[in-house]
Amino acid sequence: MFPRLHSETRAPAFLRRRSALPIWADLAWRVGLILTLILLVLIVHWIERDGLRDELDGQISFIDVLYFTTVTVTTVGYGDIVPVSNVTRLFETFFVTPIRIFVWLIFLGTAYHFVFRNVWHRWRMARIQKTLEHHVIVAGYGTSGAEAVRELIARGIEPIRIVVIDQNERALALAEACGCNILQGDATRDQTLDDVRVARAETIIVSTGRDDTSILVTLTARHLAPKVPISVVVRATDNEVLARQAGADTVINPASFAGLLLAGSHQGPHVADYLADLAATGGRVQLRERLVTQEEIGKPLKDLATGIGVRLYRAGRTISYWDEEADTIFGGDTVIEIIPIPQ
């Protein structure tokens, strides 16, 4: 399980930038640096070759110096050529030894960067993918996406059941600190959504910050997961219809919701306060949507034991608590109720 994010222990953010070097150039400069260090040691060894002794023939040639340099820098050291003068030994101690350590660090760092890290990430992703089922996918970790994740966790959804997709590394770092699974990628692409097992998800929340991108993500998700509920945030009222046509089950317009709160406050502060109370987990009441239970079939909506029933959804129709059809609950109905939150 990933660590949760607490405000008092939040790590400071650092300015980061993706490397402009391609992989081949990154590898080339590492190799070039190693060769430069070896060349530098080779030059000094050649200049101070009188401080070396060959145990085989007693002569130090350029090939002997090249051989001694390579086996020394790579820490092999067969002992057939050894430093004998004080100057050469001091050079080996204070100059060659740090270079030897640095060269090995470059070797290890390169191996990790280009081999081990990629293998580890692929293995870890495959392991996580095997357990992904009935999870929540959040495409976009901006203001709305981050708030949705916090609210989901507050409502009892375990962070390991949440998968956040974004292209911004800093946003993903914040999502990971909350304990969520993260994937850096473009949620408009089939492969990205396939990687997070979109067809096995419980629900999909789309909040990319741009209406056109959110609608395209919705189209892609609906194509790959025809039966998974999709909720999408749009900023422009004109795009609400487009989002529904793209396959969204729920379309939320923050500006429209804010307008409802403002209009409600015209009659007094308590209406807006109650609406906000219903929408968040921090209040005293909460709206909940669920399927009716076997014990509730045949009873009126007003007699729910778990809360106050305010609406029924039956075969695509909306039934309010005052309608005659709400006097009898049928199997397969979906109920919207107001439930108390323990204080």
Continuous H helices in 141-253: 143-154, 169-177, 190-195, 211-224, 239-246
Domain boundaries defined on the chain: 23-128, 132-252, 284-340
**Average pLDDT, whole number, for the chain?**
82
Q: How many CA atoms lie within 13 A of 264 on its CB side?
A: 14
Instruction: Summarize the confidence of residues 312-318 as an average pLDDT.
Output: 90
- Phi, psi dihedral angles at 206 (to 5 degrees): -115, 120
Kindly report the CATH class assigned to 23-128.
Answer: mainly alpha
The radius of gyration computed from the CA coordinates of the chain, to the nearest angstrom, equals 32
CATH assignment of 284-340, among 3.40.50.80, 3.40.50.720, 3.30.70.1450, 3.40.50.2300: 3.30.70.1450
* pLDDT, tens only, 256-304: 766 666 766 667 777 777 777 776 666 788 888 899 999 999 999 988 9
Specify the 3-state DSSP secondary structure of 52: strand
Whether the per-residue pLDDT at 145 is higher than 80: the answer is yes
* pLDDT, tens only, 5-40: 333 333 333 333 344 556 667 677 777 888 888 888
The CATH T-level fold of domain 132-252 is Rossmann fold (3.40.50)
Distance separating the N- and C-terminal Cα atoms of the chain: 28
Which residues are CB-neighbours of 48 under 8 A, at least 6 positions away? 85, 87, 88, 91
Q: Is the pTM of this model over 0.85?
A: no
